[in-house]
Amino acid sequence: MSAAFASALVPYAGPIAAAALLTEAQQRTGLSDWGGKRWDEARFRHDLEILCDAIEAGATLTATGRDRTHSRLITMLVSRLRYLDARKAATAADAERIVAPLIGSGMPRAGTTFLHGLMAQDPGNRGVAAWEAAIPSPLADAADREALYTQILAFQGMTAPDVTAIHPFGAALPEECIFLQEGNLGSLYGVYWNVPAYQAAIADKLPGAFAWQTAMMQYLQIDRPRRRWALKGPGHLFNWRELLIAFPDARLYVNHRDPGKVIPSIASLFCKLRSLFSDAAVDPLAIGAQQLAAWQFAVDDYAAWRGCEGAEARVSDVLFTDLVTDPLETVARVYDDLDIPLTTAARGAMARHLETDHHGSAPGRKYGLADYGLDEAAIESAFAPYIERFSIQRERRQ
């Protein structure tokens, strides 16, 4: 297996070109079926070409950034070929049902990763580890895939201390829905590279993204004990209705935190991730403005949905201040809201996890609103209705 991914772990000086990457992946795997009509191969090829052209045109890659970009894309392409080949043989996959998944959302940096990681300790829940999302097949080689993806993440700079001090990345950690959608070319790449043309081109792909994710989940649960999927994605706030079309019986929870703390933290993470690939394409002021506008739209849309067609939906709203004050009681309340039993085994596993989990305990990072061209007036103008609607406590802002 590792031979197929070998080129993801070596320097690369060539162009980021769709045709060359597709050919390389085929040569590495000996496979050539990119999905056909069922998995919309034509759209996949089209979007990959737009992505590669946008990276070369505007991402301003450093030499190391080119290595990492090639690594990210060839890993995805090799994995797609291998997954589709394995899924054709797994004829039982289409009959698998995804029943009442537990799905979290909310603004990034509002405790979503912490809460998701805590819920993943419940023996009745089934998350998806980063290695599993990135390299879904073959199902039998779990340890090998985890070790390989650990190397790939390190090569891409994702597990460097200055990155994990902001957000935990690791092969064994439970991952977000957006990574289950990566093989379909989703919105993840707009985080790593400045590729507005690509982001515009995939704006209508949500149904396909969720169809791909569902198919991955079906495949991953073949011949496994039935457990409740526990997933999360901050980006679901932008596509709540599409999410519920894909998973109509989902149990949902949403994290809320003072946007005055969240927005500069999101911008800080974006800047750090972009800097793994480019020096010149990182503009803190532009990123700050983009994140404020995007998340104002997302929370306003969520609030409107909660006040109308989502008024009777099975959703639990989670305040960051409650979560950090008493994590276990917060989980208990969320489970109660969603009619999920909190077993003694689950509570015990979560308590043990809290004894060793260091997420959020790193030294405080020094950044503030002004670092991203923002101030308190901008935050209040954008988010005051949201803060009041969900009774969010304003924190000390810098």
User: What per-residue confidence (pLDDT) applies to 1?
Assistant: 62
Quote the pLDDT of residue 279: 87
How high is the pLDDT of residue 227? 95
Give the tens place of pLDDT for each residue, 221-245: 998 888 999 999 999 999 988 999 9
pLDDT, position 360: 52
Question: Cα separation of 174 and 230, whole Å?
Answer: 9
DSSP-assigned states of every residue in 125-172: EE--BHHHHHS---TT-HHHHHHHHHHHHHHTTTTSHHHHTTS---TT
What is the predicted pLDDT for the residue at 359? 61
Mean pLDDT for the chain? 94
Phi and psi of 340, rounded to 5°?
Answer: -110, 125
Q: How many residues does the chain have?
A: 398
**116 pLDDT more than 90:** yes
Quickly tell me which residue has 């060359």 as its tokens: 20
Question: Which candidate, 133, 154, 155, 122, places its Cα nearest to that of 346?
Answer: 122
pLDDT of residue 354: 96
Question: What pLDDT, in 10s, does the model give residues 273-319?
Answer: 999 999 887 889 999 999 999 999 999 999 999 888 877 888 999 99
pLDDT digits (tens, 9 = 90+) for 24-45: 999 999 999 999 999 999 999 9
Spell out the residues 6+ positions from residue 215 whose beta carbon is closer than 8 angstroms to its own. Answer: 87, 93
Residue 107: pLDDT over 80 = yes
Looking up tokens 């950044």 gives 367
Proportion of the chain above pLDDT 90, given as a percent: 86
At residue 398, does pLDDT exceed 80? no
> What's residue 310's pLDDT?
78
pLDDT, mean of residues 255-283: 93
- Which 3 state secondary structure label does DSSP give 48? helix
Residue 157 clears pLDDT 60, i.e. is over it: yes
The packing angle between helices 63-89 and 142-155, to 10°, is 160
Q: What's the average model confidence in pLDDT over 359-373?
A: 73
C-alpha to C-alpha distance for 261 and 397, rounded to whole angstroms = 6
Q: Is the pLDDT of residue 120 over 60?
A: yes
In degrees and rounded to multiples of 5, residue 160 shows phi and psi of: -65, 145
Output the CA–CA distances (angstroms, integers) from residue 59 to 18, 116, 280, 382, in the order listed: 16, 31, 8, 29
How many angstroms from the chain centroid is the CA of residue 220?
A: 18
Give the model confidence (pLDDT) of 175-205 as tens digits.
Answer: 999 999 999 998 999 999 999 999 999 999 9
DSSP per-residue string spanning 175-219: --HHHHTGGG--TTHHHHS--HHHHHHTTT-HHHHHHHHHHHHHH
